[in-house]
Amino acid sequence: MSHLSPDQIWHLLTKVADPEIPMVSIVDLGIVRQVGLQGNKIILILTPTFSACPALHWIEAQVIDLLRQSGAAEVEVRWSLTPPWSSDWLTPQARQALTRVGIAPPPRHDGRLEVALEQPVSCPYCSSTNTQMKNDFGPTLCRAIYYCHDCHQPFERFKPI
Amino acid sequence: MKTTLQNALADYLLAMADDELILGHRDSEWCGYAPILEEDIAFANLALDEIGHASLWYTLLAELRREDPQTYADQLVFFRQAREYRNIQMVELPPGDWAFSMLRQYLFDAFEQVHLSALRQSRYAPVASAAAKVLTEELYHYRHTSAWVRRLALGTDDSHMRMQKALDALWPYVAQLFVPFTDEPLLLQEGYVPTRSELESQWNAKVTPFLQECALSLPQPSPTRYARDQHTPHLKVLLAEMQSVARLEPGAV
């Protein structure tokens, strides 16, 4: 049985992808808050992006599976709401990956969500800001639906929160 | 924590959770029936959010009561009778027409804005954290439903008439939001919750001018203030459907 170091654990967690956005890892999403060791037991503190996100159960199971397969004796996942997840925690890698698949990343808001929501949204395909919100709600809790009047394509937008 | 305080807090958490759950269920009833595709999607999101919020409050209740958080919510949701539920009557009313559902959601969303903002200051840390989280998500609800209420109220003669009818029908139920809990003084003493009268003035300050901007006439306030253990006949019907599958095979996963 191998003993994993915190660095090794963090590295392994970059292999757990968001099931809805497979090119972004849970580390890049800012879901993983803390990695700790208590003797042989790994204690992970994760935070939910959206409280009702159905992918969270799946993510927890994936994390435990992966670490067990990598030799962990015992893994405990704790969900924390303090502080609440912010889309500001998306890493630059996450933002680039989102743009590449046609999802506009959220602007940084520093807690001032209403201000962020006034800003024009850039089309992830052609970068135009001649875009229009079609629906503040989309196929998942984290995405809204937009349309670009320049390249005439619909696209999704990761909701600032 | 003293038993009396714990019971008071448990009652409060149960009420919050039940409000969210029943409202979420009503929201979900638009799935497949909304007037346009975008709103079908929107109501599905609202429903999922509300049920997720209910789950958060049920989990806090489980932790307070030292019950298993993995199973306690399901026990409460699928195996209680209507008389054991502690939601307000407004959320258990059937969907009605589009104006009715949208206004009902708006009135509750406005309440969540003032209630959750206050609960962020709760001296009971788990409540403060959960409230902060839920509030970030609720902003999208409030934006959506207030926009729709305005759009319908200031739209055509028909949409305005329906929105006014909805307001006339819903207004008598609003008072129940502000009925103080029996053991509220215990919770207030500890700084766990705001007072209902504080919430009522904040809610009125938010909602009344908005409805007036929408050219809607405010009905007379209702003198009747029901306790949360008093339900309309609609709740039994809702639960019969919602609980039917779980009750067929209790213990199934």
Chain A interface with B: residues with Cβ < 8 Å: 48, 50-54, 80-86, 113-114, 117, 134-139, 141, 145, 159, 161
pLDDT digits (tens, 9 = 90+) for A104-143: 999 999 999 989 999 999 999 999 999 999 999 999 999 9
Residue type, A12: L
State how far residue B38 is from chain A, nearest Cα, in angstroms.
Answer: 6
Is B157 at the interface with chain A, CB within 8 A?
no
A96, A85 contact by CB (below 8 A): no
pTM over 0.90: yes
**Which phi and psi angles does A148 have, rounded to 5°?**
-100, 120
**Pairing between strand A41-46 and A154-158?**
unpaired
Is B41 at the interface with chain A, CB within 8 A?
yes
SS (H, E, C) B91-107: HHCCCCCHHHHHHHHHH
- Binary contact (A137, B143; C-beta < 8 A): no
**Pairing between strand A41-46 and A74-79?**
parallel
Q: Report how far apart, in Å, the C-alpha atoms of B77 and of each of B21, B103, B184 are.
A: 8, 25, 24
- Binary contact (A137, B56; C-beta < 8 A): no
**Which phi and psi angles does A17 have, rounded to 5°?**
-95, 155
Q: Is A70 exposed, middle or buried (0-12, 13-18, 19+ CB in 10 A)?
A: middle
Closest chain B residue to A143, measured at CA: B45
**What are the structure tokens assigned to B64, written together?**
């307070």
Q: Can you tell me the distance from the alpha carbon of B174 to that of B203, in angstroms, rounded to the nearest whole number? A: 10
Does an H or E element contain A103, and which?
A: strand A103-104
**What are the structure tokens assigned to B31, written together?**
């799935």
- Binary contact (B133, A145; C-beta < 8 A): no
For chains A and B, what is the number of CB pairs under 8 angstroms? 69
State how far residue B208 is from chain A, nearest Cα, in angstroms.
Answer: 22
Q: Report how far apart, in Å, the C-alpha atoms of A104 and of each of A85, A125, B150, B180 are.
A: 19, 9, 29, 45
Q: Which of A137, A143, A145 best tests the B interface by mutation, with the highest count of B CBs <10 A?
A: A137
Prediction ipTM score:
0.93
Q: Which residues pair with A132 in a beta bridge?
A: A147
* pLDDT tens-place values along chain B, 253 residues long: 899 999 999 999 999 999 999 999 999 999 999 999 999 999 999 999 999 999 999 999 999 999 999 899 999 999 999 999 999 999 999 999 999 999 999 999 999 999 999 999 999 999 999 999 999 999 999 999 999 999 999 999 999 999 999 999 999 999 999 999 989 999 999 999 999 999 999 999 999 999 999 999 999 887 778 899 999 999 999 999 999 999 999 888 7
Q: Which residues pair with A146 in a beta bridge?
A: A133, A155
**Which phi and psi angles does B100 have, rounded to 5°?**
-65, -50
State how far residue B130 is from chain A, nearest Cα, in angstroms.
Answer: 6
Radius of gyration of chain A (CA): 17
**How many of the other CB atoms lie within 10 Å of CB of B4?**
10
Sign of torsion over alpha carbons B186, B192, B194, B196: negative
**What are the structure tokens assigned to B21, written together?**
């759950």
**What are the structure tokens assigned to A45, written together?**
């503190």
Residues of A in contact with B53 (CB under 8 A): 51-52
- Quickly list H helices, A70-157: 92-100, 113-116
Residues of B in contact with A33 (CB under 8 A): none
Q: Can you tell me the distance from the alpha carbon of B49 to that of A56, in angstroms, rounded to the nearest whole number? A: 14
